[in-house]
Amino acid sequence: MPIGQGHSAYGRYARNRGVNLWSFLPEGARSVAVQARTTDKRRMLVTPLGNSDMMGRSIIEAMSLEELASGRQPEIARELAEEMPKGPYEMYDPISYPGHKWGMTIDVNACTGCSACVAACYAENNLAIVGRERVHEGHIMSWLRIESFVPSPNEDGRAPNLYIAPILCQHCDHAPCEPVCPVFASVHTREGLNAQIYNRCIGTRFCENNCPYKVRRFNWFAPEWPEPMNLQLNPDVTVRGAGVMEKCTFCIQRITAAEIDARTEERELKDGEVITACAQACPTRAITFGDLNDQSSAMVKRRVDNRGRIYTMLPELNALPQITYLRSLYRTTEKS
Amino acid sequence: MAAAVETNLHPRYIDVDRQVQRAMAPGGLTYWMWVLFCAFLTALGIGFWTNQVYKGLGVTGLTEPTMWAPYITNFVFWVGIAHSGTLISAILFLFRVRWRTAIYRCAETMTVFAVVTAGLFPLIHLGRLWFFYFVVPYPNERYLQPDFRSPLVWDFFAIGTYLTISTVFLLTGLIPDCANARELATGWRKTLYSIFSFGWQGTDRQWRNFQMVYLLLAGFATPLVLSVHSVVSWDFAMTQLPGWHSTIFAPYFVAGAIFSGCALVLTLIIPIRKFWRLKEMVTIWHLDNLAKIVLLTSLIISYSYCVESFMVWYSQDPLEMTTFHQRYFGPQGYFFWIMVTCNCVIPLLLFSPRVRTNTVWLFVISIFVNIGMWLERFVIIAGSLATNTMPSQWRFYTPHVTEVVITIGSFGWFLMNFSLFAKFMPIVSMTEMKEGISWLRQAVRTSYPYRKAA
């Protein structure tokens, strides 16, 4: 049973949110006998996640060390490779990105699910905190979420106990959200970002319908920043009003600031100069952000060094995500 | 036999004018109570809409994956309703189908007001209503145009075109009838009919031009029956959401549109012919023919459901398979089975001529068809969104009071407009009825219940 959660102090919004089981124990106790009984009280159990079954989809993948050593792909990837139509997928020539092209590599194996990236994203990008009741309604505003799936019962028992990975906007090259927007609020930038223009957005929400990763968030109400929470807003990022769609920007404010710095100093942007809030906050360095056009960047190197483990989410949709995941690893000998 | 008693088997030329003008007589207390009731529903809907605009879309039950559930369902439902009106007034005109004469005005009126109602829903569902004009291509200082790749922009043009053509078509057909009504009317009514008769004198040249314009408009309107709802269906088919991404959608939606539209014509015309005593104009024989269209399109719809499911099974696409499994057996699977009952099973009763010539049966069946067709769109839209590609983001839609009231309000708005128009304008075309009077006499006598009686 997890312990150490909940708040007893820490301001009017955090107080009495959650419970620390430790507080029930007598002073100095190491173990205690408990009796559980039902009460008639009902409490809302709120989770932002719906189904904990991955349904065999290529969302969070894992592979055994043997597979990695022998250079084999895991079963799900082999199946997908068989089913994928053999190109050509493209009607037009690919769009070239002459300057930077931003991308991300996420090592699922390194992710512990601590949610520091989620908290960092909230702080950096002025995300609205909606509270338990509205999360229950499905109005959560997180651009980045930690997804967790339990293995389905028919998996062979060697798979990990839990699949965990951070999921954010994949900044697809063929972004399904872009062509459906009637007003060009969802557009691709010249640096490969899938940008959202808040001023242009009229809130048709078609983009979220067509987003296969469901990472866009809609402002159901105008966000509120009661005193003194307004003081923690990041001045580099706008706050969004009611009725517009918002989403991960790859911390475009940090990219732009670094680019301006480089330009004023009349030099090229160096690798590692731009780091997104989530990558910065990750204690296990699971997230690496960088320029795909720079073959020496740490992000590209990480992909090359771990080429046996790379995969993209839901590749059969051919959305060409710019986030590449590295599969989680497990030992077969230990568990079977 | 009851049917024989209620129907004049020998309607005369003068009966047409008399009966239609009787229907146009000032409404009684019941009529105005009904209109007021509809207006009340409309006002309620407007009130809740205002609240939604003021507070934000969060007051509805829409949630993260089910971004579109009730409003777009209403939009597709009302656009679909419109289509049968154009089918009856334009396509059947071009094919010289005589039984359209008695019901086409009613169907066309229904078309115009259904499109007006449908056009409200893309606005109601917007997050920022006050910027709706961003979808309109207009010259602006930012040199920004709408994205013509987006099916929502196609929708804007499809609905705009449809509303324009069907309104002009309706008003054109009204010209000789308004001129007729103008002759008897007094006071402000005379002014009203004078305006809508556009200076009609009934000269030879005017008749010739009228016929030509009417024919041309019918020609313009005919392709719209197929194109508008195809465009609407592409709102879904052009996406890659499992359950939406399907090539069958255009013909499937068009058939569904005509199915639901003809059912609503039945729902509207049955009370009208009863309360405004138009049974000699709109005979059982007309309803019988309408019911046959409902039956035919019901069979097409049933076939479409089968093909849709078959294609999913045949493709063995795991994403589609899961969505369809959820559609049939998921937590909201009962919607699907109610829909199948209403759209595929209950209309089979229309195979029986006894049912087709019984107004009570027809009315009840038409209501079921409308419920079923509303649910069909709901199942496709809300159900597919709820069971999307990311299982962690699955969430089924539950309605809140706002969208329920707005949906009911839209019915109030439609019925209010329709009832007012039907009272103040000739709801049966006198001109065309008189043209086909001898033919009507013969057809009525040879149609089922009377033939049997004779």
Q: What percent of chain A has pLDDT over 90?
A: 54
B244, B237 contact by CB (below 8 A): yes
Per-residue three-class SS string for chain B:
CHHHHHCCCCCCHHHHHHHHHHHCCCCCHHHHHHHHHHHHHHHHHHHHHHHHHHHCHHHCCCCCCCCCHHHHHHHHHHHHHHHHHHHHHHHHHHCCCCCHHHHHHHHHHHHHHHHHHHHHHHHHCCCCHHHHHHHCCCCCCCCCCCCCCCHHHHHHHHHHHHHHHHHHHHHHHHHHHHHHHHHHCCHHHHHHHHHHCCCCCCCHHHHHHHHHHHHHHHHHHHHHHHHHHHHHHHHHHCCCCCCCCCCCHHHHHHHHHHHHHHHHHHHHHHHHHHHCCCCCCCCHHHHHHHHHHHHHHHHHHHHHHHHHHHHHHHHCCHHHHHHHHHHHHCCCHHHHHHHHHHHHHHHHHHHCHHHHCCHHHHHHHHHHHHHHHHHHHHHHHHHHHHCCCCHHHCCCCCCCHHHHHHHHHHHHHHHHHHHHHHHHCCCCCHHHHHHCHHHHHHHHHHCHHHHHHC
Question: HSE (CB half, 13 Å, CA atoms) of A51?
Answer: 22
Query: Which pLDDT does position A28 carry in this prediction?
Result: 75
B251 touches chain A (CB under 8 A): no
Distance, in Å, from the CA atom of A209 to the CA atom of B241, rounded to the nearest integer, reads 7
Least reliable range by pLDDT among B144-158, B263-277, B376-390, B431-445: B431-445
Task: Retrieve residue B52's tokens.
Answer: 């939604």
Cβ contacts of A139 on chain B, cutoff 8 Å: 58, 63-64
Query: Which pLDDT does position B282 carry in this prediction?
Result: 85
Distances from the Cα of A238 to the Cα of A131, A218, B184, angstroms: 21, 15, 66
pLDDT digits (tens, 9 = 90+) for A137-155: 889 999 999 998 988 766 6
Helix (H, G, I), strand (E, B) or coil at A63: strand
How high does pLDDT run on average in chain A?
87
Smallest CA–CA distance, residue B127 to chain A, in Å, is 4
B128 touches chain A (CB under 8 A): yes
User: Which of A146, A220, A240 to mutate to test binding with chain B, by most B CBs within 10 Å of its CB?
Assistant: A220
Query: Which pLDDT does position B280 carry in this prediction?
Result: 79
Question: HSE (CB half, 13 Å, CA atoms) of B127?
Answer: 29
Distance, in Å, from the CA atom of B432 to the CA atom of A15, rounded to the nearest integer, reads 77
Query: Which pLDDT does position A336 carry in this prediction?
Result: 42
Nearest residue in chain A measured CA to CA from B71: A204
A210 touches chain B (CB under 8 A): yes
Q: How do the residues of chain A divide into helix, strand and coil, expressed in percent and rounded to 5?
A: 25, 15, 60
pLDDT digits (tens, 9 = 90+) for A197-249: 999 999 999 999 999 999 999 999 999 888 888 898 999 999 999 999 999 99
pLDDT at B357 over 50: yes
Phi, psi of B12 (to 5 degrees): -105, 170
A108, A146 contact by CB (below 8 A): no
Query: Once rounded to an integer, what is the mean pLDDT over residues A35-41?
Result: 86
One-letter identity of residue B336:
F
B390 and A183: CB-CB below 8 Å? no
Smallest CA–CA distance, residue B52 to chain A, in Å, is 10
Smallest CA–CA distance, residue B394 to chain A, in Å, is 5
Stated length of chain B: 454
Query: Which pLDDT does position B385 carry in this prediction?
Result: 93
User: Could you say which residues from 117 to 136 on chain A have a Cβ atom under 8 Å away from some Cβ of chain B?
Assistant: 134
Phi, psi of A269 (to 5 degrees): -70, 130
Going by pLDDT thresholds of 50, 70 and 90, the confidence category of residue A179 is very high
A206 and B58: CB-CB below 8 Å? no
Task: Retrieve residue B65's tokens.
Answer: 């994956």
B395 and A54: CB-CB below 8 Å? no
Going by pLDDT thresholds of 50, 70 and 90, the confidence category of residue A156 is low
Q: Which residue, among A216, A213, A219, has the nearest Cα to A181 in the 3D structure?
A: A216
Least reliable range by pLDDT among A18-32, B50-64, B417-431: A18-32
Going by pLDDT thresholds of 50, 70 and 90, the confidence category of residue A185 is very high
B66, B385 contact by CB (below 8 A): yes
pLDDT digits (tens, 9 = 90+) for A2-18: 677 778 877 777 787 77
Distance, in Å, from the CA atom of A1 to the CA atom of A127, rounded to the nearest integer, reads 30
B326 touches chain A (CB under 8 A): no
Cβ contacts of B146 on chain A, cutoff 8 Å: 182-184
Distance, in Å, from the CA atom of B182 to the CA atom of B233, rounded to the nearest integer, reads 42
Beta bridge partners of B12: none
Query: Which pLDDT does position B283 carry in this prediction?
Result: 82
pLDDT at A163 over 50: yes
pLDDT digits (tens, 9 = 90+) for A285-321: 999 999 999 999 999 999 999 988 999 999 888 888 9
Residues 6 or more apart whose CB falls under 8 angstroms from that of B244 comprise: B236, B237, B380, B384
Number of CB atoms found within 10 A of residue B404's CB: 15
A139 and B58: CB-CB below 8 Å? yes
Distance, in Å, from the CA atom of A63 to the CA atom of B413, rounded to the nearest integer, reads 59
pLDDT digits (tens, 9 = 90+) for A50-91: 888 888 888 998 888 888 888 888 888 888 888 777 766 777
Residue A43 DSSP symbol:
-
Phi, psi of B194 (to 5 degrees): -65, -40
pLDDT digits (tens, 9 = 90+) for B30-72: 999 999 999 999 999 999 999 999 999 999 999 888 999 899 9
A62, B394 contact by CB (below 8 A): no
User: Could you say which residues from 163 to 182 on chain A have a Cβ atom under 8 Å away from some Cβ of chain B?
Assistant: 167, 176, 179-182
Smallest CA–CA distance, residue A220 to chain B, in Å, is 4
A268, A161 contact by CB (below 8 A): no
Is the model more confident about B215 or about A36?
A: B215
Task: Retrieve residue B327's tokens.
Answer: 């559609």
Going by pLDDT thresholds of 50, 70 and 90, the confidence category of residue B233 is very high
Nearest residue in chain B measured CA to CA from A134: B58
Query: Which pLDDT does position B454 carry in this prediction?
Result: 47
How high does pLDDT run on average in chain B?
89
Going by pLDDT thresholds of 50, 70 and 90, the confidence category of residue B101 is confident
User: Could you say which residues from 44 to 63 on chain B have a Cβ atom under 8 Å away from some Cβ of chain A?
Assistant: 55-58, 62-63
pLDDT at B140 over 90: no
Q: Which residue, among A237, A300, A83, A142, has the nearest Cα to B319 in the 3D structure?
A: A83
Smallest CA–CA distance, residue A165 to chain B, in Å, is 12
Query: Which pLDDT does position B8 carry in this prediction?
Result: 58
Distance, in Å, from the CA atom of B245 to the CA atom of B6, rounded to the nearest integer, reads 51
Cβ contacts of B147 on chain A, cutoff 8 Å: 179, 181-184
Query: A49-335 has which fold?
Result: Alpha-Beta Plaits (3.30.70)
pLDDT at B440 over 90: no
A184 and B64: CB-CB below 8 Å? no
